[in-house]
Chain A
Amino acid sequence: QKEVEQDPGPLSVPEGAIVSLNCTYSNSAFQYFMWYRQYSRKGPELLMYTYSSGNKEDGRFTAQVDKSSKYISLFIRDSQPSDSATYLCAGTYNAGNMLTFGGGTRLMVKP
């Protein structure tokens, strides 16, 4: 079993929909959690960065961490075709340490 699990998708939604992307993790020592967006043939781009449990909002994006259930989520409001990409979640013990990634969820937002 991988330390961070993600449904690979693809997840297909119409433009304007609210998207929910989820990960589960098994390592209770993880304290920092990230969401990265990766377009085809590009490097991952940091979207959200959170510490411990709670919510963090940035524009159309909201990240949630529930350490009690080892569950992390990314919500995208008013989704746009430009949001079509692979979304990677990651966890780590310490923000400066190596990241453990999920396999990524491919999202397609259709006009």
Chain B
Amino acid sequence: GAGVSQSPSNKVTEKGKDVELRCDPISGHTALYWYRQSLGQGLEFLIYFQGNSAPDKSGLPSDRFSAERTGGSVSTLTIQRTQQEDSAVYLCASSLGVHNEQFFGPGTRLTVL
């Protein structure tokens, strides 16, 4: 079946602009995660959604970062007033439930000029 999909695959933006990154999880997966992968920091957790529960935002690096998950499916990660240090690959993952392994999408490569 279809895996996790993300769009766009690449995004180049100017410092100070807002960006939106989209994730479509595997159908039927109730849990959705956002991670960031950068050269200096490796792969870091950002935010986690599980069903209708309040999201775990403990990994968001600043209040410029926010995420939504509509209808328990698609999620959007928004970065406001982008900075050069936000340049990274943003990865989305989903899992069937709280006791299941996570499957990753291909990522969105964000470059902030």
Contact = CB atoms under 8 A, between A and B. Distances in A.
SS class of chain A's interface: helix, strand, loop or mixed?
loop
A44 B43 contact: yes
A100 B41 CA distance: 12
Contact of A99 (B45, B56, B58, B107): B45
A82 interface: no
A88 B48 contact: no
Contact of A96 (B58, B100, B103, B106): B100
A96 B104 contact: no
Contact of B42 (A41, A97, A102): A102
B108 to A, nearest CB: 10
B65 interface: no
Contact of B48 (A97, A102, A103): A97
A36 B42 contact: no
A111 B95 CA distance: 36
28 contacts: A34-B101, A36-B104, A42-B106, A42-B107, A43-B106, A46-B101, A46-B102, A46-B103, A49-B101, A94-B98, A94-B99, A95-B98, A95-B101, A96-B50, A96-B95, A96-B98, A96-B99, A97-B98, A98-B58, A99-B33, A99-B35, A99-B45, A99-B102, A101-B42, A101-B43, A102-B42, A103-B42, A104-B42
Interface of B: 4, 31, 33, 35, 42-45, 48, 50, 56, 58-59, 91, 95, 97-107, 109
Interface of A: 2, 34, 36, 41-46, 49, 88, 94-104
